[in-house]
């Protein structure tokens, strides 16, 4: 199976869409800005994608509870400090902690993380997964954005443009997703 559609239908993930598109030497993570509480939009311009780690060489986007995601960002940054330049190792170490630490086990979030050479999704079940095709979608609109991005990857388009268009499609379908995007890009050295 190319990439992986994740089950994002649980109420836990309502209120966000995060998409990663990796094409050529560029990796882009885009996230919408909508925060919903039930059927009410609380905020329309939240920033769910950010650079982390020394020098901002890693991009991370989250779906789920905000405080939980920030806890995970902090923990991942600590792992990156211990394992500089080794994103996969840092993520595996975080996943181990997430599964075994009583406090972390209760965190309700998912993350997409990427550097110039690797893109991964991390879950609270201990998963650290890398897609075959470089496209990952999480959150309530994640599967819509994932499908749209997969359709656009073969087209002669820049990955940022693919991510923006795919997110716009997801926002037209998913009521928990809007078009106020935060987009971060990392480019591998040639």
50 exposed, middle or buried (CB, 10 Å; 0-12, 13-18, 19+)?
middle
HEC profile of 65-132 = CHHHHHHHHHHHHHHHHHCCCCHHHHHHHHHHHHHHCHHHHCCCEEEEEECCCCEEEECCCCCEECCC
CA angle 79–82–88, rounded 5-degree value: 55
Residues noted as catalytic: 16
């Amino acid at each position: 199976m190319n990439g992986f559609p994740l089950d994002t239908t649980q109420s836990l993930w309502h209120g966000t869409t995060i998409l990663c598109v990796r094409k050529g030497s560029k990796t882009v993570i885009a996230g919408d800005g909508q925060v919903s509480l039930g059927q009410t939009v609380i905020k329309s311009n939240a920033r769910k994608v950010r650079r982390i780690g020394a020098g901002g060489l890693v991009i991370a986007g989250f779906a789920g509870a905000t405080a939980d995601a920030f806890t995970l960002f902090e923990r991942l940054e600590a792992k990156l400090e211990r394992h500089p330049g080794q994103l996969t190792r840092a993520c595996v170490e975080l996943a181990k902690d997430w599964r075994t630490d009583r406090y972390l086990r209760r965190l309700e979030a998912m993350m997409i993380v990427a550097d110039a050479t690797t893109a991964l999704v991390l879950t609270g079940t201990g998963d650290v997964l890398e897609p075959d095709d470089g496209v990952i979608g999480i959150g309530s609109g994640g599967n819509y954005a994932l499908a749209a991005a997969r359709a656009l990857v073969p087209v002669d388009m820049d990955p940022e443009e693919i991510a923006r268009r795919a997110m716009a499609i997801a926002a037209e379908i998913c009521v928990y997703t809007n078009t106020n995007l935060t987009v971060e890009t990392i480019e591998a050295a040639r």
